[in-house]
A and B are shown apart, each in its own frame.
Chain A
């Protein structure tokens, strides 16, 4: 099971809470998937805050607030402080968005915001790219978890850069790594776990499925299968065929 900032989480599946058809379906998706962490947000109060909080608290799941929608360091830092007070946790999924179409992180602002928040006692989960240098800087400023994107948020494209993600895993073998964003299918989630990632964070793939509860279950199974496969040390692929049935002892019938 993944360990984030000294806390062991019961599942390698992290689920967002947005876009579900109803609160009841959201709750059932969490129940069926046994997701270990629920991501939440802050928005201008329009009367639903208390009801949402009561529902989330009822899930019994660890909470990871985000700074979604923040495009500057200042916005992200202020939002993180508001989140820490509201959700009573120092965990923060740090988003500093740099590009409107792809929602690609502004990695320069991300490192700066991570530095400020870490110095202020936050335990930062940076939503980042798979860039080795950026990830190294995030670790240098105190992040103990990295959450590289698989593909743009909400795209469902899967893992766009498997080479980069494998490289990240290899270079930082002891850092908890989470693929965050872009997962659209259970096979994408399994692929991340087969690479040795510690967890997968997704939202839209479940919330926007025709059957969110069914997809939540499928994602949970995929994460579990992918992790089991990684721990079982998969075979090396090869270009040429190799008979799995022994040639020795074959009857001569020609």
Chain B
């Protein structure tokens, strides 16, 4: 299926958000949102991914 990950189209077979993060090699220090809604780390393993989902994965960065 096709999803949008951090603004880029991506094909994935991951069933859950946790699977997707593992497939993409993201580190532990990230936070996630699915279709604009925050998904806590504890819920990633039970959050399914569907065709067309928009997923954001963010990390600590410089800011003012």
Contacts and interface: CB of A to CB of B under 8 A. Distances in A.
Interface of A: 16-20, 26, 39-46, 48-50, 52-53, 56, 65-66, 68, 74-75, 78-79, 81-83, 85-87, 153-154, 203-204
A85 B7 contact: no
Interface in B30-64: 30-33, 36-38, 40-41, 56-64
Contacts of A18: 62-64
Contacts of B27: 45, 49-50
A53 B29 contact: yes
Contact of A39 (B40, B57, B59, B64): B64
A52 B38 contact: no
Interface size class on chain B is: 20 to 34
A125 to B, nearest CB: 13
A204 to B, nearest CB: 7
29 contacts: A17-B63, A17-B64, A18-B63, A20-B62, A26-B62, A39-B64, A40-B62, A40-B63, A41-B62, A42-B31, A44-B56, A44-B58, A45-B57, A48-B59, A49-B27, A49-B60, A50-B28, A50-B29, A50-B59, A52-B62, A68-B63, A78-B37, A83-B31, A85-B31, A85-B38, A85-B40, A86-B29, A86-B60, A87-B60
Interface of B: 6-7, 26-33, 36-38, 40-41, 56-64
A82 B61 contact: no
